[in-house]
Amino acid sequence: MQWTDLLRLVGAEPVFSSALLLAGPTSVPRVRLQLSRWVRAGRLLQLRRGVYALAQPWRKIDPHPFTVANALQRGSYVSLQAALSFHGVIPEHAPVVTSIGPGRPETIRTALGGFQFNHMAAPLLYGYALIDVASGQRAFVASPEKALLDLVYLTPGGDDPAFLEALRLQQSDAIDATTLVALAERSGKPRLRRAAVRTLELLQNDTGVRL
């Protein structure tokens, strides 16, 4: 495979898998060797085994961090602080993209940023959707309600009013009361039910509006 062939295949992709290049009658060792050479030459960024992005100036589109996160661990979705910040529910910017998935917990440092993956059992993997995160890019991202519940679930004492208050939740209209309660009930976890009730109480007290 020549460099021009690769650009023709993946030039418009923010990230790509080496599996895309191994379809059909091709030499797997040869393709892998060529990818390694391009990484060493600075033409490609290897984000993890089998996952790549074009380096500048060959890149036509800048990969959105959420798109990268989805590609780094298949079956995962962006949640926790990263999703809450994206939805404007917390004031802080999340320096590391936080995700939930069925895979093992891991933190991955790449040339495109840091990515943290948290394991969650299959019955709790819901409440997310494929949404637009940048022009021409989509990613699986938790709803603000599920991102909050995921954070509570993974944080010891996450249902404590002091913890919820410390999050400094804002834009109360971004949290739908019915959705929050329904997602908490679906989990079957008493801690998440308590957190849902206490979150709505906090938002009601902050806005003075009955949710």
* Domains of the chain, residue spans: 3-54, 65-207
pLDDT band at 24 (very low <50, low <70, confident <90, very high): low
pTM score, two decimals? 0.92
Average pLDDT, the chain: 93
Q: Give the pLDDT mean for 146-162.
A: 97
pLDDT band at 1 (very low <50, low <70, confident <90, very high): confident
Strands (E), the chain: 16-17, 44-48, 51-54, 77-78, 96-101, 106-110, 113-119, 128-134, 137-142
Per-position DSSP letters for 116-141, written without gaps between them: EEEE--GGG--SEEEEEEETTEEEEE
Q: Give the pLDDT mean for 83-112.
A: 96
Residue-wise pLDDT tens digits, 50-85 = 999 999 999 999 999 999 999 999 999 999 999 999
The pLDDT, as a whole number, for residue 209 is: 39
Query: For residue 24, is it left (φ>0), alpha (ψ between -120 and 50) or beta?
Result: left
Secondary structure class of 107 (helix, strand, coil): strand
pLDDT-above-70 percentage for the chain: 96
The residue among 154 and 210 whose pLDDT is bigger is 154
